[in-house]
Copies of this chain bind each other. A is one copy, B any other.
Amino acid sequence: MKNIKMTIEYDGGRYLGWQRLGDSDKTIQGKTENILTKMTGSEIEIVGSGRTDAGTHAKGQVANFKTSIDMDLPTMQEYLIRYLPQDIIVKELEEVPERFHARYHAVGKKYSYYVWNNVVPSAFERNYSFHYSEQLDLEKMNKACEKLIGRHDFIGFSALKKSKKSTVRTIDEISIQREDNLLHFTFIGEGFLYKMVRILMGTLLEIGSGITALEVIDTIFESGIRSEAGMTVPAQGLFLDEVYYN
């Protein structure tokens, strides 16, 4: 059996998210598995680095699958590009050691979130950003990022009710770049809890627009209570950019 690592880009707009839902063709995992099953002639199950929510995009989702098919990787990639829809692109295929597991072995992830920060919306960014027209204090938001970076219990910044597993995570980097009306937020860390990036984003925006004080972050770290944090911003501004492995 060969173990094949795939790097996948997708426009999540039309999909119910990464994770297969029964026979549905409306998830990225489901769609990809169906094509791989046709290609190899035997049922293929793929392991993703993690789920992405309905509407979330990816520039570098990673998954792996096992097959004994005798087909070289360029031919396989060509087949996948031809038969997958145009909004799911297999960017790279690589043969990896049999023990490689896209989820267990992921040591970090990089996400981007885009905010269209102008009163007048954009016809082109509407599916790839969140339109938020309030004026934002970037200096204050950068201070909030500094508070968030590091090792903390992020349960209050997640959509988990409670968790038996640890909800302590390390964020290595959060940065904000402005290009005209488009704000680009980057999050790098070992892993993120359910909806954590979108809730962190909502909190940053509410701090930046003055709805919430900077100190709310300390309060949430202490109390762990989700309701203190900001809104969950929409999925269409979120991109899984990269998954890191050793």
Contacts and interface: CB of A to CB of B under 8 A. Distances in A.
A220 to B, nearest CB: 33
A9 interface: yes
A11 B124 contact: yes
A55 B77 CA distance: 29
A11 B87 contact: no
The size class of the interface chain A forms with chain B is 20 to 34
B86 A123 contact: yes
B122 A9 contact: yes
B11 A123 contact: yes
Contacts of A11: 123-124, 126
A122 B88 CA distance: 9
A46 interface: no
B128 A89 contact: no
A62 to B, nearest CB: 15
Interface string A7-18: 001110000000
B9 A89 contact: no
Contact of A120 (B57, B89, B120, B128): B89
A39 B190 CA distance: 52
Given A11-B126, A81-B121, 5 more contacts: A10-B123, A11-B124, A57-B124, A59-B124, A86-B123
Interface of A: 9-11, 57, 59, 77, 81, 86-91, 120-124, 126, 128
- Going nearest first, the 5 A-B pairs with the smallest beta carbon separation are A11-B123, A89-B123, A9-B123, A87-B123, A86-B126
